[in-house]
Amino acid sequence: MSDELVVKDGAEVLSHPFMKQIVIQLRAMDGYGTYDTWSDAQVLDPIILTKARRREIPVVGDPDETVISRVKAYYNGIAQMIEKETGIMAVPVINLTHEGFGRSMITAGKLVVLDKTLRDVHRFGFDSPEKLIGEAEKLVTKAVELIKKFPEVAEM
């Protein structure tokens, strides 16, 4: 991967609530302290896969622990945003095979508010920070709508 950051330090996109949340999640999963000296832009950079970066990743491959932690951080961040908007605890459940296929679900009470099939997790990422935010906002909005539609199930 290129050494140049896609998201620059101080970029306005870093102040978006979801970007802040995903940085918190990634830092929380960093058991070795690798991210302690990194800026938020450096922590977020690997999840942004430009076309050039995506070309460098083989089409077939198994995800490593770093990529899996990014997937977990993304869905944890979405769960936190759902919880922030609704006041109801949202819990992500991620099941992956060693080949990078599986499913991510987020539940609120007994209600499944998000269900995504995961494929080619070794290539997990977004074309730009704006697409990362856009996709997350779309998922959060749908989840919040479900909770509002079925509050009695979400509060169980």
Phi-psi group of 87: left, alpha or beta (phi > 0 → left; psi -120 to 50 → alpha; rest → beta): left
In a domain, residue 7? The reply is no
Report which of 100, 1, 96 is spatially closest to residue 42, judged by C-alpha positions.
1
With respect to residue 108, please indicate whether it lies within any of the assigned structural domains: yes
**Distance in angstroms (rounded) separating the CA atoms of residues 127 and 51:** 7
pLDDT tens figures, 45-97: 988 888 888 888 878 878 888 889 999 999 999 999 999 999 999 999 999 99
Q: Give the tokens for residue 128.
A: 């730009």
Number of domains in the chain: 1
Domain for residue 2, yes or no? no
Instruction: Report if residue 122 sits inside a domain.
Output: yes
- Position 3 scores a pLDDT of 62
pLDDT band with cut points at 50, 70 and 90 for residue 1: very low
pLDDT in tens, 103-154: 999 999 999 999 999 998 888 889 999 999 999 999 999 999 999 999 999 9
Q: Say which DSSP state 8 is in.
A: P
CA dist 110 and 89 (Å) reads 11
CA separation for the pair 118, 97 (Å, rounded): 10
123 domain-assigned: yes
Each residue's pLDDT tens digit, 2-58: 467 888 887 888 889 999 999 999 999 888 888 889 999 989 998 888 888 888 887
pLDDT at 8: 80
CA distance 124 to 49: 8
**Is 4 within the bounds of a domain?**
no
Backbone CA torsion sign across 139, 145, 148, 149: negative
Tell me the pTM.
0.88
Which CATH number fits the domain that encloses residue 91?
1.10.3100.20
Structural domain includes residue 6:
no
Within-domain flag for 56? yes
Print the domain residue range for 95.
12-154
What amino acid occupies position 22? I
> Dmax over Cα atoms in the chain, in whole Å?
49
Residue with tokens 């101080």: 10
What pLDDT does residue 34 have?
86
pLDDT value at residue 76: 96
Place of tokens 């460098």: 56
CA 60 to chain centre: 21
